[in-house]
Amino acid sequence: MTPAMSTPTQTIPSYLQADNLGPWGIYLKQVDRVVPYLGHLARWQETLRRPKRALIVDVPIQLDNGTVAHFEGYRVQHNTSRGPGKGGVRFHQDVTLSEVMALSAWMSIKNAAVNVPFGGAKGGIRVDPKTLSLGELERMTRRYTSEIGIIIGPTKDIPAPDVNTNEQIMAWMMDTYSMNEGSTNTGVVTGKPVDLGGSLGRRDATGRGVYTVGVEAANHMGLDISRARVAIQGFGNVGGVAGRLFSEAGARVVAVQDHGGTIYRDAGLDVPALLAHVAAHGSVAGFESAEVLENDQFWDVDCDILIPAALEQQITAANASRIKARLVIEGANGPTTPEADDILADRGILVLPDVIANAGGVTVSYFEWVQDFSSFFWSEDDINARLVRIMKEAFAGIWQVAQDNKVTLRTATFIVACKRILHARELRGLYP
C-alpha cells in the first residue's frame, strides 16, 4: 500500500513573519491588506513576501589614527521581475537588515506604481557618518562598493543616494565599480554629479514629486493650496524642496522639524531664508523670527497639510489622533505605521503614501539611467515636464482604483503595483 503523500511543513523564519516588529513587519502587513484584491495573481503572493537576495557585508577600513574599524553593510534586492533592482544607499547608525529589506520592498512597489522598468533594491551601512573624516568616509564607501560589487551593475542593480549620502558618495561608488570592471561605467549608480553623467533636476526630483501629487490630491479634496497651512518634518532635499514649491504656490509653511529641533510661525516661515539657514548651519535650530517648540508639540500644529519627510515610523498610534491636517503627504519612506494609518482613515484624514508621493526621485533616476545608456542628455525643463506628467498619470490611476474599491490610497497603490509585479512574475514563469 502506497502511503498518502503529504505537503511538507515549512517553518517561516522570524524575519518573514508579519508579527515580527520592525519596518519589514509593517511592509508584510501592508501586503496582507492587498491580497484580497489580487484575483488570480494571489497565487504568486509569496513573491512579495520574500526578498530575492540579501547580502550582508563586513566593511573594514583604516581610520585616520591608524586603527581598523569594522562596519556592517547591506544590499537587498527584493524583486527584479520587472527590471534591474533600483534603490538608494543610506549611511545611518540605526540601519538594520529589517529596515533595508522593507525599503527594498517599498522600492519594488514604488517603481511599479509609477510604471518605470525597475525592480526594488536598497542598501545601507550602520554608521554615523558625522563621526568620520572625509577620507574615512571615502574609504568606507569604496570598500562597501567593492563588497557589494558582485550583485550590482547597470543591468543588475543601480544604487542611488538616500539618507546621509549624496552626489559625492555616488561619484566614489561609480569610480570604484568602474575601476574594478576596468572601464568607466556611469550607469551603475544614479544621483551622480552632472559632470559624471548625472541628470539635471535629480536633486529636486523627490520634493517636486511630493509637491506634484500633493497638489493633485488637494484638488480632488477641494483644498486650496494658496490658502493651505503646511507643516514639514525633515527639511533636506525632500522636505526643503517641497516646502519651497508649496510656499511659491502661496501656501504658508507654519512649522518645520528636523534633527536640530522644531520651529513655528503662525504667519508662515520665510522659506527661502530658512533654506539658506539650514544650508549654512545644518539644521533649523537658531532660525530667527520663529517660535521654538518642543519636538513632541509638532504633532499638535494646526495645519492643512502635513509632510513627514524624515525617517520611518514617525506617525504612530501614539500621535495619530493628535494630527490636525486634512492631508498627509509621505515624503519619507514608511513614516506611518499600519495602526496609525487606520486611525487617520477613521478620522477622515487622507494619506498620500510614500510609494507614490516620493516616487519623483526614482522617476528622474530612471531618466538619468536612460541618458547614461544613450549618452544623450535632456534639458532640465524637459526632465521636469516628463516627471510631472508621469506623476500625474500615476496618481490619477491610483485615485480611480481607490474610488472603485473603496480603499485607502495606500492600498490602492499596492493594488496597482502588486498586480504589475506579479503579472510580470507570472509571464516570466519559474526557471528551471
313-339 pLDDT, tens digit each: 899 999 999 999 999 999 998 899 889
Q: Is the pLDDT assigned to residue 272 strictly greater than 80?
A: yes
pLDDT, mean of residues 384-392: 96
What is the per-residue pLDDT for 163? Answer: 87
Q: Is the pLDDT assigned to residue 301 strictly greater than 90?
A: yes
What is the per-residue pLDDT for 124? Answer: 98
pLDDT, mean of residues 245-250: 96
What is the per-residue pLDDT for 7? Answer: 40
- 28-83 confidence digits (pLDDT tens): 999 999 999 999 999 999 999 999 999 999 999 999 999 999 999 999 999 999 99
Examine the residue annotation and report whether 122 is marked as an active-site residue of this protein.
Answer: yes
Of 122, 130, 156, 406, which is the active-site residue? 122
Q: Is the pLDDT assigned to residue 2 strictly greater than 50?
A: no
What is the per-residue pLDDT for 276? Answer: 95
What is the per-residue pLDDT for 9? Answer: 42
What is the per-residue pLDDT for 288? Answer: 87
State the chain's mean pLDDT as an integer. 93
- 93-138 confidence digits (pLDDT tens): 999 999 999 999 999 999 999 999 999 999 999 999 999 999 999 9
pTM comes to: 0.90
Domains annotated on the chain, with CATH:
50-184 (3.40.50.10860), 207-357 (3.40.50.720)
What is the per-residue pLDDT for 160? Answer: 95
pLDDT, mean of residues 351-379: 95
Cα–Cα–Cα angle for 164, 97, 429, nearest 5°? 110
Choose among 214, 273, 222, 220: nearest CA to 238: 214
- 217-226 confidence digits (pLDDT tens): 999 999 999 9
